[in-house]
Amino acid sequence: MSEALEPEIDVEALASRGVDLEVAERVAPDRDIAVKVGDPLVQVQNLTMKFGGLTALDNVTFDILRGEILGLIGPNGAGKTTCFNAMTGVYKPSSGKVLLEGKSLGGLAQHKITRQGLARTFQNIRLFGEMTALENVVVGLDARHRTSVGGALLRLPTHVREEKSAIERGMALLEFVGIADHAQFLSRHLPYGYQRRLEIARALATDPKVLCLDEPAAGFNPAEKEELMQLIRTIRNDGYTVLLIEHDMKLVMGVTDRIVVLEFGKKLADGAPAEIREDPRVIAAYLGEPEDDVA
Ligand SMILES: Nc1ncnc2c1ncn2[C@@H]1O[C@H](COP(=O)(O)OP(=O)(O)O)[C@@H](O)[C@H]1O
Ligand SMILES: [Mg+2]
């Protein structure tokens, strides 16, 4: 056990929640691993995104609390991905604000928002296909390195040391998401489910405060979905805050602490999963959706 861990952390409780402390320690040595659900970590305020005449996101306001798994759900085309894109700098919002720990992210480029601590995956997987799984993760780690490009070219001792620790941490991340046995596979040769997990590992490599997942279980069978939800729980129990976009209502009910529902770009409801499931407006919004998407 490393000294970096606070003495009051209940190791057994964490272990029973699926957190391997040794792996967690290698994944992010500087991070608090037992955070309490608490203050708003992210504040989305009146966020609006227009595409020409279409208002894809209309004056949407919600908070993401530290340490929670917040679900963002809604029928196809409701504006979930647009909300992510407007939050993470893919699009510049037409109006409204996104604050991380009280600081506005407005106008920052994507990579700067990532560096501030908001990491994401994409609904359509975006990996470097010709790189190995491990290399894909190490790329994510690179943003954190202190060495200059000159130092890297000269291979100064600091750079060599950082390279070694990057590989160790990259391997720990692959282990954390359960694909370490495929570390040397080119990412395009990985089974689909592994590619999804690799995307999560790469996002975690940036050492985020908030991990935003856009339909991470898309295309999975029910057993694979359940395994992925278990991984998301483990990620949260390990101290990360998670925003989970999911189309399948049944799936988010079991894993989220709170849920925000979008419909036609507007916030329709937010609340605890049990409230959302009973909400007639939410049930109505999902009517007409394919059978297996309805709770
Ligand atoms: N770049 C874009 N240009 C024009 N329209 C877009 C763009 N991105 C999304 N939209 C539209 O915004 C609406 C919301 O889409 P999206 O956020 O992808 O929904 P969801 O992720 O909830 O399924 C849809 O009508 C979609 O066609
Ligand atoms: Mg989407």
Give tens-digit pLDDT for 241-280: 999 999 888 888 889 999 999 999 999 999 999 999 999 9
99 and 147 in one domain? Answer: no
- At residue 7 the predicted structure's pLDDT band, cuts being 50, 70 and 90, is very low
Task: Locate the ligand 1 atom nearest the alpha carbon of residue 78 and give its number.
Answer: 22
Establish if 94 belongs to a structural domain: yes
Amino acid at 145: H
Contacts with 178 (C-beta within 8 Å, 6 or more apart), sequence order: 197, 231
27 versus 209: the higher-pLDDT residue is 209
Mean pLDDT score, 25-42: 66
98 and 151 in one domain? Answer: no
Q: What is the DSSP letter of 38?
A: -
Mean pLDDT score, 96-109: 93
287 and 183 in one domain? Answer: no
pLDDT at res. 80? 96
- At residue 11 the predicted structure's pLDDT band, cuts being 50, 70 and 90, is low
* pLDDT tens for each residue of 170-182: 999 999 999 999 9
Establish if 28 belongs to a structural domain: no
Question: Is the per-residue pLDDT at 163 higher than 80?
Answer: no
CA 124 – ligand 1 centroid, Å: 14
Nearest residue to 169 (alpha-carbon basis) of 211, 132, 204: 204
**With contact defined as beta carbons under 8 Å apart, do 232 and 255 qualify?**
yes
54-65 sheet: strands from edge to edge: 54-65, 40-51, 95-100, 103-104
Task: Give nearest CA residue, ligand 1 atom 11.
Answer: 56
Establish if 8 belongs to a structural domain: no
| Cα 142 → chain centroid | 18
Establish if 123 belongs to a structural domain: no
Q: Average pLDDT over the chain, rounded to whole?
A: 84
Establish if 285 belongs to a structural domain: yes
Please state the pTM of the whole predicted model: 0.83
Q: Using a 6 Å CB cutoff, which residues line ligand 1? A: 51, 54, 56, 74, 76-82
Pair type for strands 54-65 and 95-100: unpaired
